[in-house]
């Protein structure tokens, strides 16, 4: 096989991390016909992913949204492994979706640089870490970029492809085309910026919503109602933050603030207070709203 990356050379995709994102990215790839390996350090995590994906596929078939044959083929195209060495050696395209910690990702990318075939592109699904942070340790920085899916990855159409300073045009083109072949609508971000596009847009709306509420200008409920009834958003900013998880919102704000140092990016104290009280949004039954 050629040592040059090429879309036609991609038959096996490796997804590293079987968590919320990794398992659904892997199923998306399997449904698109790719032989897909999910690798995780946790056997339990892999088992949970397998169970969830089998149940998801059965549910879709039951509702008539997926052919039984397509579900069977996709599940058969998936394999599960704790062995990164073997998995990486067989991969043509790698999407890392492991825990959001730079030390973990750096160690993974360092290994991939050695283990993956020379033609393989190494992408990270990270929401807050630009791929430049892990590119050099691979020894092939031109073949490294962010390929950022949205939660739930089986449903959401957007994929943000983010290039760093030395990402090659070929890496960008192949990643954009791969996203299309996975049934997504990729967008390109020409240089790294915290929050990429979607989280920056969402952040700007959230910031204004928090200002209006904190200043007592309107209630949370009325701000959310306005976003829905005047702007056509499917849900208001407070309901959305509760759905994403206030801990996640706070984490993203902290990471952005650490990177930019701009006062306007400082984490919101009201959100930090809710997080400290254990009110993380829907997943804990309370956040800006009560769900009990």
Return residues touching ligand NAD (CB under 6 A): 16-22, 39-42, 45, 97-100, 104, 108, 125-128, 148-151
Q: What is the DSSP letter of 218?
A: S
The least CB distance from residue 115 to ligand NAD, in Å, is: 13
The least CB distance from residue 98 to ligand NAD, in Å, is: 4
Smaller CB separation from ligand NAD, 35 or 39: 39
Give yes or no: 8 in active site.
Answer: no
**Catalytic one of 160, 164, 192, 268:** 160
Give yes or no: 199 in active site.
Answer: yes
The least CB distance from residue 148 to ligand NAD, in Å, is: 6
Smaller CB separation from ligand NAD, 112 or 220: 112
How many alpha carbons fall within 13 Å on the CB side of residue 119? 17
**Catalytic one of 132, 148, 164, 192:** 148
Give yes or no: 292 in active site.
Answer: no
Smaller CB separation from ligand NAD, 98 or 286: 98
Smaller CB separation from ligand NAD, 42 or 51: 42
Give yes or no: 9 in active site.
Answer: no
Q: Using CA atoms, how far apart are residues 84 and 18, in angstroms rounded to an integer?
A: 13
Q: Using CA atoms, how far apart are residues 148 and 117, in angstroms rounded to an integer?
A: 22
How many alpha carbons fall within 13 Å on the CB side of residue 70? 15
Smaller CB separation from ligand NAD, 61 or 189: 189
Q: Burial code of 242-270, b = ≥16 C-beta within 10 A, e = fewer?
A: bebbbbbbbbbbebbbebeeeeebebbee
**Residue whose Cβ sits closest to ligand NAD:** 19
The least CB distance from residue 272 to ligand NAD, in Å, is: 19
The alpha-helical segments, DSSP class H, found in 78-136 are: 84-89, 102-115, 132-135
CB 42 within 8 A of CB 18: yes
Three-class DSSP category at 169: helix
User: 144: which strand partners?
Assistant: 122
The least CB distance from residue 131 to ligand NAD, in Å, is: 11
Three-class DSSP category at 127: coil
Active site residues: 127, 148, 160, 199
């Amino acid at each position: 096989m050629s040592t040059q990356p090429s879309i036609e050379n991609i038959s096996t995709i490796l997804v590293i991390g079987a968590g919320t994102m990794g398992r659904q990215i892997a199923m998306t790839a399997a449904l698109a016909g790719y032989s897909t390996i999910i690798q995780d350090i946790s056997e339990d995590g892999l088992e949970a992913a397998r169970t969830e994906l089998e149940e998801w596929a059965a549910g879709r078939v039951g509702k008539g949204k997926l052919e039984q044959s397509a579900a069977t083929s996709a599940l058969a195209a998936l394999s599960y492994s704790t062995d990164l060495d073997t998995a990486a050696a067989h991969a043509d395209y790698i999407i890392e979706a492991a825990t959001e910690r730079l030390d973990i990702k750096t160690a993974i990318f360092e290994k991939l640089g050695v283990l993956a075939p020379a033609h393989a592109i190494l992408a990270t699904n990270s929401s807050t870490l630009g791929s430049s942070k892990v590119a050099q340790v691979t020894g092939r920085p031109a073949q490294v970029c962010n390929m950022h899916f949205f939660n739930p990855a089986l449903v959401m159409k957007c994929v943000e492809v983010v290039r760093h300073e030395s990402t090659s045009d070929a890496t960008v083109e192949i990643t954009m085309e791969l996203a299309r072949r996975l049934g997504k609508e990729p967008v390109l971000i020409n240089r790294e910026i915290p929050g990429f596009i979607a989280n920056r847009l969402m952040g700007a709306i959230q910031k204004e919503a928090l200002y209006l509420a904190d200043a007592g200008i309107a209630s949370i409920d009325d701000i959310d109602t306005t976003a829905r009834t005047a702007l056509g958003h499917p849900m208001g900013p407070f309901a959305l933050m509760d759905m994403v998880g206030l801990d996640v919102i706070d984490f993203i704000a902290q990471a952005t603030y650490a990177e930019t140092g701009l006062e306007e990016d400082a984490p919101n104290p009201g959100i930090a207070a809710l997080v400290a009280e254990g009110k993380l949004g829907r997943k804990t039954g309370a956040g800006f709203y009560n769900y009990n």
